[in-house]
Amino acid sequence: MRCTQPGCTGSIVDGYCDICGSPGAAPGGSTVSGTGGAAVSAVSVPTGQLSGACRQPGCTGSIIDGYCDVCGSPGAVSGGGSPGDAAGGLPGEEQGAPVSTITRGSSRLGSAAIGSQRATGSGSTITKRVGGGSRRLRSARLGAGLTQVPPTPQIDAAKAIMANPVVPENKRVCPSCGSPVGRGRDGQPGRTEGFCPKCGAQFSFTPKLKAGDLVANQYQVAGCLAHGGLGWIYLAKDKNVSDRWVVLKGLLNTGDADALAVALIEKQFLAQVEHPLIVEIYNFVSHDGAGYIVMEYVGGISLKDILKDRMRAAGGSYNPLPVDQALAYILEVLPAFQYLHDLGLVYCDFKPDNLIQVGDAVKLIDLGGVRRLDDDESAIYGTIGYQAPEVPQVGTSVASDIYTIGRTLLVLMAEFRGYQSTYVAKLPPAEDIPAFAAHDSLYRLVAKMCAPDPADRFASVDELRVQLLGVLREVVAEKQSGTALTSAASVLFEAPVVVSDALAWDQLPALRVDTTDSQYAWLSNVSADDPKERLAELKHPPAVTPEVQLARARAALQAGWAKSVNEVVNQMLTLDPWEWRAVWMSGLLALQQQDFKGAQSAFNAVYGQVPGELAPKLALALSCELGGEPDLAERLYKICASTDANYVAPAAFGLARVRAARDDVVGAVQALDLVPSTSRNYPESRRQRAELLYEAADGLPMLAQAMDSIERVRMDPVERAELGAKILTRALAAVTAQGANRRLLIGSIPADEPELRDGLEATYRTLAAAATDDRERYALVDQANDVRRWTLT
């Protein structure tokens, strides 16, 4: 039978076309399906129970839209099957639709033997592959592929239960005002229940649930896991869902029946939270007048416990996490915060206790304090030392969440003494934190996250994540030797332009255009090359946006119109005082006008706003080099060279200039050696190396190194010959004055007068042949004749 597919000339063999692989038409017009070629019959899909009482044993819920509003179980399926069990199709697949032939068609093609096929065919005794290449695929999970964080083992739920659930007296504080309560005196233990002597609020540190209690006729309590700000946290088994482990955590505002009802309604919005980095919320239940959130059990270890384990291993001394690991943890959890913020929620109480590591992943737990961004009435839950200082007055926000993330990061990577007292609302001096002293970008990152004014913090978690990732790259790079071999594209800056050993304002990285700007398309059509003509085109845009203003400033810079640049900068900063791109433009103008102190001020401000970017560091390094701050310039150039391959050449040239200026020839040569041979700037680095060694040469060995610098390097022949002539001339003078050293080669020429004269003569004649001016050619020929060795013929 011929294939019925349009344009196909194949035949149906065993139910499928031998050319295109399509199934043949079955008798009666039905579509062939399955390997045996059996026809698919039309089968009605069973429908589930859409309303009524839940039929799960012990559940008091109701079926709404096909699922129980208490246990979440699906309604009963009519017809005895389960949803999606219809023969011949997947759930949601239209019955009778043509079967896809893409996979079947491609499966006809031959495939090279690999894996078990290759092992069997070759007679190998290997039966399976263990480990191996999957490691490099998994390594990018925690640490973004830049660093490694030791995985943690899965913790058995039963072993996590507290044997003696008691809150230590030094941890007992009033849930309302934070004052110490329940403390012992005169040798008598403190009360676990009572009223705060300061504010009168009731407190209780006695577990409300005990092992064996059945909460909401579904969750059987196994014991206490921990005590938090909302009371005890319990481990339980879900008797309706295969005895899975769950966690019960108390709700805020459940002091009476009305408050309990309100609290349960308020927290229903957490049911919409569904993210792989956030603990899953299963249910909201009440028991004996108290409300509980039912959550997924996460069998890992909290970052707080990881810090405690490190402290015990260090003999009781605080042993913070390595900076790269601390950054890796925070980087990994940031998408969870952005997800919550996108839903209009704020987490409120982030701290090391609430981030769990499970294997090589993390999960954000404890959603008891999560609230809506527009919630101005419900209680706010936070922890002293982590909560933003403005929260008691103005409430929570995205900025207050970012503050808690910054404080958590600092606690993870440093011994942050006084974070709940002296430094409860500010950062300690940078010199008191070793991590800050070692990594200035890290200090600036945390300083922006924890800025006293919320408006000075990162505008979003996404913005924070970009900068934190850049800081992580820098921290990891500084731990390694050598220069960067890879580069990472910035979302804010283009790569630097390197056209020579010098670095000018217009060779610094350009700002990337914001493609979300409303005038992006219009700006793409502004194509005049002359900056003055371009300014004229930019004069009447459909709307004046930041990108239009930046385009004007750039064109004015290129035209040399300083007044116009200042006007644009002032206009932008008047509309948005946080518009760091305008400050960047003012820094470029200062460099152009050789106002190096002004450039330093501008680029330093930009650095503080985007601490993970290398462009401000390179610009600041140049400003410091030209403005009399060589030590700082050297430090910044080294950071750029070690972090990103695109920055190696300009940073290496800058390092060489700084070191050469203080007569550190060895250091300058080492800087030029940072440029890899694969770089297009390698020939220039070798030329500079030769020039440095030639100028500083105090004998034949350095002259030999100078000549070696340009050997076997692709460069302009005339430039090579000119530099070679200078080196050979000085070598000839040294041999004449100090004597020959035939074992030392200047390039390929022994350091002896006859050979050096021959080599120098040949070099001059090469230059004469390339000369375009007759007078210059004759002079070079005369020099060649003057230097040639004397002979009797």
Q: pLDDT, tens digit, for every residue of 732-786?
A: 999 999 899 999 999 999 999 999 999 999 999 999 999 999 999 999 999 999 9
| Beta carbons of 706 and 673 less than 8 angstroms apart | no
The whole-angstrom distance between residue 554's C-alpha and the CA centroid of its chain comes to 30
- The least confident of 45-49, 414-418, 532-536 is 45-49
Assigned superfamily of 157-296: Phosphorylase Kinase; domain 1 (3.30.200.20)
Which residue reads 């000075």 in tokens? 456
Q: How far apart are CA 451 and CA 348, in angstroms?
A: 17
Of the ranges 55-69, 157-171, 294-308, which one carries the lowest mean pLDDT score?
A: 55-69
Q: Indicate whether 44 pLDDT > 80.
A: no
Q: pLDDT for 495-552, tens place per residue?
A: 998 877 788 999 999 999 999 999 999 999 998 999 999 999 999 999 999 999 999 9
Q: Has residue 1 got a pLDDT over 70?
A: no
Percent of the chain residues topping a pLDDT of 90? 64
Higher pLDDT, 213 or 97: 213
The residue among 440, 435, 431 whose CA lies nearest residue 621 is 440
For position 70, what pLDDT does the model report? Answer: 55
Among 714, 716, 724, residue whose Cα is nearest residue 693: 724
Please give the pLDDT value at position 789.
Answer: 84
CATH 1.25.40.10 domain position(s) in the chain: 697-793
Residue 293: its H or E element: strand 290-296
Q: Vertex 78, ends 75 and 84: CA angle to 5°?
A: 75
Residue 536: which residues within 8 A CB-CB, separation 6 or more?
A: 528
Q: What is the pLDDT of residues 646-662, one digit of tens each?
A: 999 999 999 999 999 99
Identify the CA nearest to 440 among candidates 415, 474, 476, 465: 474
More confident residue, 626 or 85: 626
Top-level CATH class of 697-793? Answer: mainly alpha
- First-to-last alpha carbon distance for the chain, in angstroms, is 98
Give the span between the Cα atoms of 50 and 475, in whole angstroms.
56
pLDDT tens digits, 692-734 = 999 998 889 999 999 999 988 888 999 999 999 999 999 999 9
pLDDT on residue 85: 41
Q: In this predicted structure, which of 34-48, 72-86, 449-463 has the lowest mean pLDDT?
A: 34-48
Residue 278, pLDDT > 50, answer: yes
The better pLDDT of the pair 82, 575 is held by 575
pLDDT, averaged across the chain: 84
d(CA 367, CA 374): 17
Kindly report the number of other CB atoms within 10 A of residue 592's CB atom.
17
pLDDT at residue 72 above 60? no
Query: Does residue 74 carry a pLDDT above 90?
Result: no
CATH level 2 (architecture), domain 301-479: Orthogonal Bundle (1.10)
- pLDDT-based confidence at residue 81 (cuts at 50, 70, 90): very low
Residue carrying the six token digits 């249910």:
283
pLDDT at 590 over 70: yes
Average pLDDT on 237-251 reads 91
Q: What is the pLDDT of residue 271?
A: 79
Residue 76: per-residue pLDDT: 53
Residue 109 banded pLDDT, cuts 50, 70, 90 = very low
pLDDT at position 556 over 80? yes
As annotated, the active-site residues are: 349
87-92 mean pLDDT = 38
Report the candidate in 793, 769, 792 with the shortest Cα–Cα distance to residue 780.
Answer: 769
Helices 648-661 & 665-672 angle (0-180, nearest 10): 170
Residue 612 pLDDT > 50 = yes
Q: Return the DSSP state at 542.
A: S
Give me the pLDDT at residue 58, please.
55
Q: Indicate the residue type of 53.
A: A
pLDDT on residue 105: 44
pLDDT of residue 49: 53
pLDDT of amino acid 56: 61
| pLDDT-based confidence at residue 439 (cuts at 50, 70, 90) | very high
d(Cα 170, Cα 167) in Å, to the nearest integer? 8
Cβ pair 194, 200 in contact under 8 A: no
Rounded mean pLDDT, 339-352: 95
Mean per-residue pLDDT, 21-47: 44
Query: To 10 degrees, the CA torsion angle through 447, 450, 452, 455?
Result: 100
Give, for 774, the enclosing helix (H) or strand (E): helix 774-787
Q: Say if residue 79's pLDDT is above 90.
A: no
- Whether residue 405 contacts residue 327, with contact meaning beta carbons closer than 8 Å, is answered with no
Element (H, E) at 236: strand 231-238
Mean pLDDT across 243-248: 94
Residue 337 is classified by DSSP as: H
Residue with tokens 């300061």: 198
What is the C-alpha to C-alpha distance for residues 143 and 76, in angstroms, rounded to an integer?
A: 45
Q: What is the pLDDT of residue 161?
A: 93
Residue 200 φ then ψ, to 5°: 85, 0
Q: Are residues 587 and 606 in contact, defined by beta-carbon separation less than 8 angstroms?
A: yes
C-alpha torsion angle, residues 327, 329, 331, 332 (rounded to 10): 160
Residue 12 scores a pLDDT above 80 = no
For residue 35, pLDDT beyond 80: no
pLDDT beyond 80 at 55: no
pTM of the model: 0.78
Question: CA–CA distance from 80 to each of 42, 86, 211, 529, 668 (Å)?
Answer: 18, 11, 38, 75, 82
Name the least confident of 188-202, 449-463, 519-533, 564-578.
188-202
Band (pLDDT 50/70/90 cuts) for residue 154 is confident
What would the pLDDT profile of 373-409 be if each residue is shown by its tens digit? 998 888 888 899 999 999 999 999 999 999 999 999 9
| Euclidean distance between CA atoms 219 and 236, whole angstroms | 6
Residues spanned by CATH 3.30.200.20 within the chain? 157-296
Per-residue pLDDT at 9: 62
Question: How many of the other CB atoms lie within 10 Å of CB of 211?
Answer: 14
Residue among 643, 649, 249, 625 nearest 474 (CA): 643
Which residues of 61-150 form beta strands (DSSP E)? 62-64, 67-68
Q: Locate CATH 1.10.510.10 in the chain.
A: 301-479
Q: How far apart are CA 90 and CA 293, in angstroms?
A: 35
Residues 283-339 have pLDDT tens digits of 888 898 888 889 999 999 999 999 999 999 999 999 999 999 999 999 999 999 999
Average pLDDT (245-266) is: 65
